[in-house]
Structure 1
């Protein structure tokens, strides 16, 4: 690998930060790659080969039905974690430039509202006006917006010690609440889909429909521990931006913290199962540990050692991540892929044509993002 250094003009083009962390955009892009279409490549490989090896990888790119953990569960919380990492560089930078906390609070609220509205748009058809009971209000973007908002409030008004205290307060409080409560008719501590208190609370307070009828994996109540996921990112970002340690030592601190989080997650799992649907406290520790390890690796390789060129593919995705996430509401990517590369799939023939077309699907999306990157056109939220 060869080191690549961006020009000053490149450094300030991101919609997320003013000071450049190449690794932050790259890791965000790596995260989004899998839902951009990367997972379909491995599903296709598993299908056409019947190989246990590809089958195991394909299985990791699915969500467990309830308890348990697959690597695909990391995508959503990693994105929220990275939004937290960006906070000291974006919100913190505005503070340094003289913006008042009140101004920044309003800006954060605005971003949260936009993300909530975009989430509703992604979840529901825009062809016709639906009655409220047919609209799904909870969403991935909505949870990111709400958790990001509260994490930023805490960042603005609490010092480092209190930020750490709030991190633990949310997940310990959530654990105790679900441990000693339940839906009516169930024993305290019931964590089944119909019996747990978080799903019951969503059934009471969330308007519209829930994704699974009686439960929504992006429900309002289980957003409480998700705030800790965002806060963990804030703490990591603060370390990278303002810590006095050598850059390599910062990466080591992140890695060691990540390993400790994974150990705590496995212990906590014995009493409070790792469960993405409920965003359990053990899940927060599990995805937090993996997020810290990934950030440590990307930061050390890219920003400390200076090896950047290999990550350019991911950076292009990461700098327009929200745009590509919502793009399927406006662009028929399957049609575009068939238009550009249908001939290639026909030439390859069955069964491997589905693998080739899955790769081409990613290529078409990436070229679209690369065009925007070259034009310095980014969706800012």
Structure 2
């Protein structure tokens, strides 16, 4: 089956903006609020919630490990909506390819700057980054979206990437160590990073946004682009579509679970294919729920606070690196925070998140959106 551009522009997926905003919400402050609440009130359910909002030390999976993969998945969902519309308007594939290269390189550069490339921090800079991985994975998925028009072909690309990474991680020996050593020093990811990646590595002996990690994580963005192609077709905003997407997510999650319990663990720092499958599957199921509630059932008013964040995700990600919102929060809410005693840090963190949202709402009302 081949995707054919249509002249009918599909309605904007509010669920896509809302879910992106929900994802970013945890990154920009909601996670901090939960951790401070857990310190203030040491109740079992808050402790369990706070635990889920922290990364596993190596093997395994928690909710917080899925924040970054979900964002990559959602960036892929948006690809067909943007590119198919441009093709219909008459943009050539060559021109779109140029835009892909520029956008990817800009994100890589912004990621380096975010990591302190231009700062006076001691030692060599760290060149791999979250934004760099998003940019390169998005670029690969967007390119394949232009070159491989059929969804079956893109699914085959996902399977091929997962297969290649599996072979490299389990069968190809690392010099002096051997094969299938999924450790911080023995994994082939780590060996390639030490061999080929200049500058400082985040994990000292490896980098979670290193070369093989980027290649593996591309599957998330590719999977999102496949879903985007499905959702862009006419008359698909139905309960049947939501159920199909959820069922597909459950099947992929089940495949990841089988890999895990067959001895190939999910390790986010290495982006093992087991982790990719679990992340893709869970992303599909979560998206199906948001899609069903927001776009199918039309319960939409409550999504505005999330959409305000989701439509300027890059803006707030960069802004929280440049501005310490705790400082103005202390000025504005410090007296209230002191009155709350041990809950002071909860108030300050909540105030900082409120100020971040207010900035985004100001931009939203004036239709100012930072898009690379």
TM-score, structure 2 length as denominator?
Answer: 0.94
Q: Could you tell me which residue of structure 2 aligns to residue 251 of structure 1?
A: 242
Q: Could you tell me which residue of structure 1 aligns to residue 65 of structure 2?
A: 73
Give the deviation of 1:359 after TM superposition: 1.4
CA distance 1:31–1:372, change in 2 (3 Å)? same
Give the deviation of 1:128 after TM superposition: 3.1
Give the deviation of 1:244 after TM superposition: 5.6
Contact 2:237 2:296 in 1 (8 A): no
Give the deviation of 1:77 after TM superposition: 0.7
Q: Could you tell me which residue of structure 2 aligns to residue 204 of structure 1?
A: 195
Which of 137, 149, 161 in structure 1 is aligned with 2:139?
149
Looking at structure 2, the residues matched to 164 and 148 of structure 1 have their Cα atoms a distance apart, in angstroms, of 16
Give the deviation of 1:347 after TM superposition: 2.3
Q: Could you tell me which residue of structure 1 aligns to residue 35 of structure 2?
A: 43
Which of 121, 126, 140 in structure 1 is aligned with 2:118?
126
Contact 1:175 1:272 in 2 (8 A): no
Give the deviation of 1:249 after TM superposition: 1.3
Contact 1:182 1:196 in 2 (8 A): no
Tell me if 1:221 matches 2:221. Answer: no
Superimposed CA distance per residue, residues 54-83 of structure 1 (whole angstroms, 9 cap, x where no aligned partner): 111101111111111110011101111001
Tell me if 1:323 matches 2:293. Answer: no
Looking at structure 1, the residues matched to 338 and 211 of structure 2 have their Cα atoms a distance apart, in angstroms, of 46
Looking at structure 2, the residues matched to 172 and 164 of structure 1 have their Cα atoms a distance apart, in angstroms, of 12
Q: Could you tell me which residue of structure 1 aligns to residue 225 of structure 2?
A: 234
Structure 1: stretches of 5+ with no match in the other structure: 1-16
Which of 186, 193, 196 in structure 1 is aligned with 2:184?
193
5 Å-filtered alignment, 1:52-67, equals 52-67=44-59
Give me the CA root mean square deviation: 1.6
CA distance 1:274–1:243, change in 2 (3 Å)? farther
Contact 2:23 2:67 in 1 (8 A): yes
Contact 1:64 1:70 in 2 (8 A): yes
CA distance 1:333–1:128, change in 2 (3 Å)? same
Looking at structure 1, the residues matched to 293 and 227 of structure 2 have their Cα atoms a distance apart, in angstroms, of 17
Give the deviation of 1:129 after TM superposition: 8.0
Looking at structure 2, the residues matched to 173 and 21 of structure 1 have their Cα atoms a distance apart, in angstroms, of 33
Which of 342, 356, 361 in structure 2 is aligned with 1:365?
356
TM-score, structure 1 length as denominator?
Answer: 0.92
Tell me if 1:285 matches 2:274. Answer: no
Looking at structure 1, the residues matched to 328 and 59 of structure 2 have their Cα atoms a distance apart, in angstroms, of 37
2:212 is paired with a residue whose SS is: coil
Contact 1:239 1:250 in 2 (8 A): no
Superimposed CA distance per residue, residues 285-327 of structure 1 (whole angstroms, 9 cap, x where no aligned partner): 1111111011111111111111111111110000110110111
Looking at structure 2, the residues matched to 244 and 175 of structure 1 have their Cα atoms a distance apart, in angstroms, of 38
CA distance 1:191–1:243, change in 2 (3 Å)? farther
Superimposed CA distance per residue, residues 167-224 of structure 1 (whole angstroms, 9 cap, x where no aligned partner): 1000111011111124322121111110011111011111101001101111122111
CA distance 1:19–1:118, change in 2 (3 Å)? farther
Which of 20, 24, 31 in structure 2 is aligned with 1:32?
24
Superimposed CA distance per residue, residues 317-373 of structure 1 (whole angstroms, 9 cap, x where no aligned partner): 00110110111332221112112211221222x211222222112111111111111
Structure 2: stretches of 5+ with no match in the other structure: 1-8
CA distance 1:61–1:366, change in 2 (3 Å)? same
Number of aligned positions between the proteins: 362
Give the deviation of 1:246 after TM superposition: 5.5
CA distance 1:115–1:344, change in 2 (3 Å)? same
Q: Could you tell me which residue of structure 2 aligns to residue 347 of structure 1?
A: 339
Looking at structure 2, the residues matched to 83 and 323 of structure 1 have their Cα atoms a distance apart, in angstroms, of 15
